[in-house]
Structure 1
């Protein structure tokens, strides 16, 4: 078998684009997607091109690159990206590709450098991407200015870093302004990552997000999580009980007194923020419901802040409590393989072993992530069967999944309509 083969007629990208558009246009509302959306390599390539190649993606936290020269890297499909704190204090984003012969510049997940130096031939770049040195062998007429690093769009707000590989990314200003406002009490310039984990789930990335967007499965799957988490976060939820509504009213009054935002904010189906109580008497997502960190975040005066839930499609959900926060990032690796990274944040002055213990802090979500991994992988195995056909979502329990699938379908259709097909090859 040839290592690289041209696409055959029925593998042609233009045909795949047309078929994808037709499936989305003809899909039944409130049903799961047709099988190819979860396991087809050509459709996965379109996901990477039209969703992960064009939308704003959660990349990491500004606290991970706090000083000049600190950098972090990530892989968005076949596109390695580097984020670096520049001499000006701003976060800069570049394709992690040397302009000489294309080698990756930075091969570690994180680090600190004075300049960006390619390990292959030592081409050297300033932290703002300008090429500074290419050696004398390039000739006296070589124009350094013509070979700076190729930038990627970067936006920061509330300690979050978002990137987009698109030439013209979609608007994000309203969400970023609100994110900054909601995270002001946390003083995100003064937090740190206490611990992080990454797991690879053998399933399509959309199944990871679908699983997150509903708690229909929680009673049967997440005993650790349900020690603290309410199954819903909106008093308009048809399942919301009178006791929950009374608890919400009480907590919202307390949060108002502390000048802490809590109102539900939506930005289309892409972004959602809301602060909602944990179970009555519970203040943190720990096994006993008590703080995982003795030093509270930012200017907060009470650990009893419920959970500020932040959704950013296509690849992040987050929980911010009084004592610590948990952020999640999803990056597709293949049609049936997805990387899920979880980071636990605390006040930067909190001391491990004194103010917090990482084992206590991460126990609930380590268990929950593994449970969700098993659920999503079994979901994938069933979808791969010839017996699979799109099934109905519950409008009561799975409205969040419906919103996600509708968002995905709308963005895919729009991006497909605005794209010019490019030559592609598949590896076999």
Structure 2
């Protein structure tokens, strides 16, 4: 199965997405997601200028060897751009392998270890009352887990809020230059326990409750938050502090039993090795599209399984349906699965991407279509050209740059 073409498709059906399409000499095609939010064109260049020419003539069935070829063969290895590009190749090759075998990828990975993949949705609101209405909407749809975010009183903007009409959007940046937000940690630490208390008082403890801190606290502040949220039995608090100083999670651990999740900005097993082997986190949130694809993410999950760390992969709306389908294939098979993030995709994404995964009773299933189970309509993709956009940045009230 020699590769005869590797094409990069850039489209913006609601969000910017980069898709790699690999074609073999016998006409089998495979798709991989190469989207890196806010830096999409960097990955496009890496693929078109470097990796795609290297793929022509290679045997598409040699997935592991191709991964090593692209990783070890790059002296400047790792990093989000490199690993996102490699992930796109890897997932496309798994897609081809499944189609060649006539079965979904999860069966090539050892078969399903569960009946479905538990997902969590994103509830939000400008007020606590609005947030409670949104939580009810998710519970009515059958969700067993809900992430909650609400506007912090006194701040003009708060991470994690979106239009309540769809429940599927990510906080979009509408221009090529980033907007600047203002952050106040004290206001947030005062507000977060009130938010969780309101949710539990209204709905009880019959579902899993999650919250994203988004890297904004110091280790000590994160410890204070974790302790204040213990009465509300959180499933996790996500990204409580920037993960560059990984030993800082040890301090958080010493002061709270609230579970910790981290990893959406990681790009390799080496980024999370210390956190996992020292049991400083409970959930690893690396994503299939930013961590070298199915081949490498499976290694991350296998390492995590040895230390009792469960999976909780990133699945924001800035990753395409190809990425989500790839994640589901792996989620269904690993023994230490925890939960899968799912934000859905803005319309008109369904015009461009045709999916086979299904939702029922709080669970997703990738479906039985051969390969990853996603097709792309290239004519539809061409109707939605790339739009320059950037993620916001954060400053403290005195103007100091802060983590967004």
* Larger CA Rg, structure 1 vs 2: 1
**Greater helix share, 1 or 2?**
2
> TM-score scaled to structure 1, two decimals?
0.27
> TM-score scaled to structure 2, two decimals?
0.28
